[in-house]
Amino acid sequence: MIIAIDGPAASGKGTLGKRLADHFGFAHLDTGLLYRAVARVLLDRDVALTDRDAAARVAQELDVTHLDDERLRGAQMGEAASVISAYQPVRDALLAFQRQFAGQPPGAVLDGRDIGTVVCPHADVKLFITASAEERARRRHRELLSRGETTDYEIILNDIRRRDERDMTRSNAPLKAADDALTLDTTHLDADQAFQAALELVTRKQT
């Protein structure tokens, strides 16, 4: 069984993905970490994010055993990943790994921005998680502060709006809900409420 979860930055899709995977005993992959990992390598090598060929080479050789690196969760990597994820050669290089991950038994939950539309178009369940830009900025602000990062809410809000625009208008695998996706707006839901709502949608789709 494959559960595909898509949505914009800080919508809560990653938390939902992990909790649903734990609930069903499935593997979980936050596909955004793959792009963040590619960006991290480029930045560590002082290679410009605009170097598409270098980004593609890094993606082809990416070591996926270090996706738990805390650096990948920071705002810098999120912004950098949004840039290099627009490059089709990068997406192509990471696609095979994502599909292989999705095919493992007894099932897998993948979250990202093009899981239901490109990576796993035949997923058993597709969810599109969203929330207002203001609420997503508040969540990201709290998350970064909890990690000891000094940041400003207004800057985060502007970054999220910019990323939304970039992700939704890019020519390669733009952020959008699949035609058969179930949409869940988490703006006014806490983590537990969002999980229960998502679980109900998955259960309803199974029956």
Binding-site residues for ATP, please? Answer: 7-15
Closest CA to 58 of 39, 85, 78, 30: 39
Nearest to 5 by CA among 97, 90, 125: 125
Among candidates 104, 118, 43, 114, which has minimal Cα distance to 75? 43
Buried b / exposed e along 172-203 (16+ C-beta atoms within 10 A): ebebebbeebbebbbeebeeeebbebbeebbe
CA dihedral 137, 109, 97, 54 (to 10 degrees): 0
Q: Taking the CA atoms of 96, 98, 99 and 104 in sequence, report the sign of the dihedral they define.
A: positive
Annotated binding residues, written as ranges, equal 7-15
